[in-house]
Amino acid sequence: MGDVGSGFLGFTFGVLAVASENSGALPLLVWMLLLGVFVGDATATLLRRIRRGERWTEAHGTHAYQLAVQAGLTHKQVTLAVLGINIMLGAAATVACAWPRALLLVAVIAAAALVMLRAKVVKACEVQCGGCVTTGRHSVHL
């Protein structure tokens, strides 16, 4: 999809989420649950690259789905895994909407699960790939 397509979709979902929150239709945290895979991975990847002093504006191959493929999973396996995670996040969002008092707890549990899952993918890549990730032009040591 590239930066332009993903940027447009991110902006669109952001506007919808804020409009939804402002109208009282759907809380912002529910949107964060529904977009958890993408928001969580993009945020973690960006923070990791900044912390390591990498040029975060340049192309790279260090998103969790890219690391999973580099660790040996097929594109189909990664896509099905992300689909499964999104189904679970959708169920969590449904629970949070049904019981609004549980929204913060559900969001915290989901965020913790996503952080642990991403850490597991990064660790698997470190073991399988020897700690290096190909970015297209060079390798980055995880």
**Mean pLDDT within 61-86:** 92
Q: Supply the pLDDT for residue 114.
A: 94
pLDDT of 58 reads 85
pLDDT at residue 138 above 50?
no
Instruction: Tally the domains of the chain.
Output: 1
pLDDT score, position 77: 94
| Alpha-carbon span 126 to 128, nearest angstrom | 6
Class of residue 19 by CB neighbours under 10 A (exposed 0-12, middle 13-18, buried 19+): exposed
Task: Find the domain containing 84 and state its range.
Answer: 2-141
Closest of 82, 58, 56 to residue 69, by C-alpha: 82
28-61: pLDDT as tens digits: 999 999 999 999 998 999 998 999 899 888 888 8
Q: How confident is the model at residue 133 (pLDDT cuts 50, 70, 90)?
A: low
In this prediction, residue 137 carries a pLDDT of 44
pLDDT at position 136: 45
pTM recorded for the entire structure = 0.82
Dihedral angle over CA of 28, 40, 44, 24, nearest 10 = 0
Cα–Cα distance for residue pair 18/53, rounded to 1 Å: 32
Tell me how far apart the alpha carbons of residues 73 and 82 are, in angstroms, rounded to a whole number: 12
Per-residue pLDDT averaged across 79-106, rounded?
96
Q: What is the mean pLDDT of the chain?
A: 88
Q: What is the pLDDT of residues 75-91, one digit of tens each?
A: 999 999 999 999 999 99
